[in-house]
A and B are shown apart, each in its own frame.
Chain A
Amino acid sequence: MSTIEQFGRQQMETEQKEREATEPKGPALDEILAHPEDNTLFSKYLENGDDGDQILAGKLLAGELGADDFHALSEKRKGFLQVKEKAKNMRERLEKNMDGMINASPQLREIVQVAGMEAVRKAMIKRMDEIAITDPEGFADLEGRFNGLTAAEEVVGRGNERIAALCKEHGFTETEYTKALMAREAGDPYALEDLIKSKMGTFQKAFTSYEELTQTEGDIDTRQDIKARLSQVNWNLNNIGGALSTKMFEDPATKEILIANLKKEKGPDKDVSFAEMNGLLKRPGNPKAIRDAWENYQNEHSGDDGYTIEEARERFGNQYAERSVSKKRRGFWATIFRAMLAGSVREVIR
């Protein structure tokens, strides 16, 4: 093999490796198109793209793809697989934390009892895939909230190491916290709450008193003054130490109490509130008007868009609901409201 041939071969191998490195891993285009769930998600991905993508989505659904379209679709496949990969990573992270989240949420625990763990898992997976594809901003928001959770848990974990060291150093024995837990187990629902609330105040008071002590440090000239000041410091240390426990900061009940008592300091909620939803949640008025709108929708999409009648009903219902509460409005009640409104519209046109 000549030097030039050898160089050419090396060049081809390098290019091939580079292509493989940048090529997202996942199913090939024909596999995506053949898989019903992937096909639907891929269509939704295209529908959320630019005008050209939306035309492609229409052709895909109607089964009218030309040779050039396959080339364009195979380019779009790369972005689609990247989004799916992001959704998959998020799902995996959520699945690892799922037990903890269910344990901390009485409502999720009830749902697991009513619908089963598998239903919760499936709903979460479907939601991650859908939101990553149809609402990237919403997905980023969710990812941010989850990152906030894991970051705070890491802070608590590191803090607990420090607390364990402080307890050991000062001989703190978790007396008050243990007592509160025992009282709670014996049926006193307020035992832990009383302790946390009192400690929220105590920490603040002790901190203020520490600041005052620091400021007046220079005034202490006699051993008698020092003795008196040491007695104050020790009292504060023991008062806090009795409540310190590494378990305390991981206890879901502690967190609930803290949230309830910190709520007053929070600003207005950016999500759709229950009260706002109640104002909006009206039966979509005149069923005849809805049926007329449905007729128009069917005429506009006269069977050439590839959707079954059931899928068309779903899309019509969703569009109707999103006109009332846009996808950009987030939060529990926004999601519920859209689902309820879309459902009642579908019921009218069924």
Chain B
Amino acid sequence: MADIPSENIYDEFLKVAEGGDEEAAKKFLIAHMKEFTEQEQGEIIAAFFEDALDGSAAGAEAAAGFQKQAISTVEGLDTMKKKLEDKDKLLQIKETI
């Protein structure tokens, strides 16, 4: 691991960042990881790790919301179906009387 950063690594990063492409800037950090000092590598990894934690949390929350909507819709329709079937049975009995 590097104790001294490779020359101009910050300038290079700045140039990529100035391009305005967030994904390209992230890709640069990963591809050039080894050119940063050990301490900076740790900070970059930690930032990506926390980013992934946020992503995982947002994903799990979105999945939970989507799932809840699916379940409540199926359960609601199921209740409706049972009620209609009961009513149909009642009318059928009335018809036979």
Which residues of chain B are within 8 angstroms of A110 by Cβ–Cβ distance? 30
Nearest CB in chain B: distance from A10 CB, A: 51
Which of A33-41, A115-123, A180-188, A296-304 lies at the interface with chain B?
A115-123
Q: How many A-B residue contacts, CB cutoff 8 Å?
A: 231
Assembly CA distance A237 to B72 (angstroms): 12
Which residues of chain B are within 8 angstroms of A336 by Cβ–Cβ distance? 29, 43-44, 47
Is A233 a contact partner of B77 (Cβ separation < 8 A)?
yes
Assembly CA distance A200 to B70 (angstroms): 9
Query: What string of 1s and 0s marks CB contacts (under 8 Å) between B13-57 and chain A?
Result: 110011010100110011101101101111111111111111111
Assembly CA distance A127 to B41 (angstroms): 12
Of all chain B residues, which has the CB nearest A254?
A: B63
Is B92 a contact partner of A223 (Cβ separation < 8 A)?
yes
Q: Which of B56, B62, B67 contacts A262 (CB 8 A)?
A: B62
Q: How many interface residues does chain B have, given as a range?
A: 35 or more
Is A105 a contact partner of B56 (Cβ separation < 8 A)?
yes
Nearest CB in chain B: distance from A227 CB, A: 8
Q: Which of A105, A227, A343 contacts B52 (CB 8 A)?
A: A105
Assembly CA distance A97 to B11 (angstroms): 36
Number of interface residues of A (CB under 8 A): 88
Of all chain B residues, which has the CB nearest A167?
A: B74
Most buried by A among B69, B72, B77, B88: B77
Is B63 a contact partner of A234 (Cβ separation < 8 A)?
no
Is B44 a contact partner of A107 (Cβ separation < 8 A)?
no
Is B53 a contact partner of A146 (Cβ separation < 8 A)?
yes
Q: Which of A240, A241, A332 contacts B48 (CB 8 A)?
A: A332
Which residues of chain A are within 8 angstroms of B83 by Cβ–Cβ distance? 217
Which residues of chain A are within 8 angstroms of B65 by Cβ–Cβ distance? 258, 262
Assembly CA distance A149 to B50 (angstroms): 12
Is A124 a contact partner of B46 (Cβ separation < 8 A)?
yes
Nearest CB in chain B: distance from A33 CB, A: 23
Q: Which of A152, A233, A335 contacts B63 (CB 8 A)?
A: A152
Assembly CA distance A268 to B76 (angstroms): 34
Which residues of chain A are within 8 angstroms of B30 by Cβ–Cβ distance? 107, 110-111, 114
Is A335 a contact partner of B50 (Cβ separation < 8 A)?
yes
Q: Which of B5, B47, B66, B74 contacts A258 (CB 8 A)?
A: B66
A-B contact pairs, 19 of them (CB 8 A): A101-B49, A104-B55, A105-B48, A107-B52, A114-B33, A149-B57, A156-B67, A210-B73, A214-B76, A230-B88, A233-B80, A240-B73, A249-B66, A255-B63, A256-B59, A258-B62, A258-B63, A340-B13, A343-B40
7 extra interchain contacts, Cβ-Cβ under 8 A, other than A122-B42, A152-B63, A340-B13? A102-B52, A149-B53, A237-B78, A254-B66, A256-B59, A258-B63, A339-B43
